[in-house]
Amino acid sequence: MTDQTLVQIEDEDEAPTLPGLEIRNLYKIFGPDGASHVEAVRRGLTKGELNRRHGHVLGLTDISLEIPPGKITVIMGLSGSGKSTLIRHINGLIAPTAGEILFDGADVCKMTPTELRAFRRTRTAMVFQKFGLLPHRTVLENTCYGLDIRGMSRSEAEPVARRWIDRVGLKGYEESYPSQLSGGMQQRVGLARALATDADILLMDEAFSALDPLIRLDMQAVLLELQEELHKTIVFITHDLDEALRLGDRIAILRDGRLEQVGTGQDIVMRPANDYIAAFAREVNRARVIRIDAVAEPLGDERPALELPGRLVLEEAARRMTEAGADRALVVGPRQRPKGILTLSTLLAAMVRPLEEGPPAHR
């Protein structure tokens, strides 16, 4: 397993210049008169009560979420939690009952049909769970589709499409049709099609859920490799916590249309907000999530010869310390700034410590 799959982007990275996305106080009530019930929901009317009394369905309740630019934000939840409903609000496929979605100074919810079409064509791109490829189009033609919609000539579009086909590992399949490709290859076409538009926001709704486990891991690695270079603003929907932890710079967990917790993977695993989140995180392999700068002990006079970057997760740090024959290491941040001391005993304890106890105490 490579370092890329074991680390999360440093908190100290320079902020991208792209605009971020902000969701404010978003409500969605499905039914003919949803707006009239928002205030009752604000006062505590539950999803079940709303359905029994008024025949309406509560999809989202007071969602406020900042989606930082240039990062992967994962929205996670079980079936019926509202995650797909939420992502469809971002590009205006679903209109909210109340609330705002702000991007680059504009509220998506208040855009005119013409503005919304332009927003979808130029600022967002979507990768679907079921691939969404046109069966009568070749790989090249499918990849060109978003550019065709923009009115770009084929002579301009094809070089762009070929570049992204190559980048996702499908060079040589340009003239193949979707029926001639495996599921993983079809999803690579979907990813190439989205990236070819150079949209600011990439929306991925359960994009890898239909794939076999090994192919799914491969696609996750492809996405992380591309993101390392592109720094796209990505909203990724999943029901799989392992996938969320592997991909997400930030994770938002939904339950019955409400946000339960928002934070880094380490926050979710080490500091669950409630019993519901703790139950999700209980079976997580902590060694592949927790970074060593979260468990390092305070600096003293000691300066071990072995230096390890603080972004490393426990598993990779244990491997490097074992290979070096070291029982302690200096944890460093950007520009080799010392951040703490990691001992092998602390590292091993952090791998197995029950969640309720939190991170190891400094000794």
The CATH number linked to 295 is 3.10.580.10
Tallying the residues shown for the chain, one arrives at: 363
**Pairing mode of beta strands 233-238, 72-76:** parallel
Q: Tens-digit pLDDT profile for the chain (363 aa)? A: 333 333 433 444 444 456 789 999 999 999 999 999 999 999 999 999 999 999 999 999 999 999 999 999 999 999 889 999 999 999 999 999 999 999 988 999 999 999 999 999 899 998 887 778 999 999 999 999 999 988 899 999 999 999 999 999 999 999 999 999 998 899 999 999 999 999 999 999 998 888 888 888 899 999 999 998 899 999 999 999 989 988 999 999 999 999 999 999 888 988 899 999 998 888 788 888 888 988 899 888 788 889 999 888 899 999 999 999 999 999 998 888 888 999 998 898 888 765 444 444 433
pLDDT of residue 254: 96
The model's pTM is 0.83
**Distance between CA atoms of 178 and 135, rounded to whole angstroms?**
6
228 and 324 within one domain: no
Cα 51 from Cα 57, distance rounded (Å)? 6
Strand 307-309 and strand 124-127: the pairing is unpaired
**Cβ contacts of 48 within 8 Å, gap of 6 or more:** none
173 belongs to a structural domain? no
Are 277 and 261 in contact by the 8 Å Cβ rule? The answer is yes
Same domain, 207 and 339: no
Domain stops at, among 256, 284, 312: 284
Q: What pLDDT is recorded for position 2? A: 38
> pLDDT tens-digit profile of 269-282?
888 999 999 988 88
Q: Are residues 295 and 352 in the same domain?
A: yes
pLDDT of residue 287: 86
Q: Three-state SS for 235?
A: strand
Among all chains, which residue has been given the structure tokens 């005993």? Answer: 345
pLDDT of 147 reads 93
Q: What confidence score (pLDDT) does residue 46 get? A: 92
Q: Is residue 170 part of a domain?
A: no
Angle between helices 213-230 and 183-196 (to 10 degrees): 20
User: Mapping DSSP to helix (H, G, I), strand (E, B) and coil, where does residue 162 land?
Assistant: helix
**Closest among 205, 172, 200 to 187, alpha carbons compared:** 205
Q: Alpha carbon 327 to chain centroid distance?
A: 35
Place of tokens 């039914």: 31
DSSP state for residue 355 in the 8-state scheme? G
- Asked if 319 and 273 sit in the same domain, the reply is no
The residue out of 265, 284, 303 marking a domain boundary is 284
CATH code for the domain of 108: 3.40.50.300
Would 279 be classed as within a structural domain? yes
Beta bridge partners of 238: 76
180-183, Cβ contacts within 8 angstroms, sequence gap of 24 or more: 181/139, 182/215, 183/131, 183/210, 183/211, 183/212, 183/215
Q: Is the dihedral of CA 275, 279, 283, 284 positive or negative?
A: negative
Residue spans of beta strands (DSSP E) within 170-232: 201-205
Distance of alpha carbon 68 from alpha carbon 72, whole angstroms: 8
Q: Which residues of 323-335 are buried (b: 16+ CB within 10 A; e: fewer)?
A: eeebebbbbbbee
Are residues 231 and 305 both part of a single domain? no
Same domain, 260 and 271: yes
Q: Which of 303, 322, 131 is closest to 211 using CA atoms?
A: 131
User: What is the reported pLDDT for 17?
Assistant: 59
Residues of the domain holding 302: 287-357
What H or E segment, with its residue span, contains residue 197?
A: none
227, 255, 284 - which closes a domain = 284
> Both 100 and 206 in a single domain?
yes
Question: 210 and 353 in one domain?
Answer: no
Q: What is the pLDDT of residue 353?
A: 60
Q: Give the count of domains, the chain.
A: 2
Domain-embedded: residue 315: yes
Q: What is the pLDDT of residue 18?
A: 64
Whether the CB-CB separation of 57 and 50 falls below 8 Å is answered with yes
Residue 91 domain flag: yes
69 and 112 part of one domain: yes
**270 and 335 housed in the same domain:** no
Nearest to 69 by CA among 22, 20, 15: 20
Residue 301 domain flag: yes
Output the pLDDT for position 274.
Answer: 94
- Residues 342 and 266 occupy one common structural domain: no
How is residue 202 written in tokens?
């990439």
Ranges of beta strands (E only) in 219-362 are: 233-238, 250-255, 258-263, 307-309, 328-332, 338-343
295 and 278 within one domain:
no
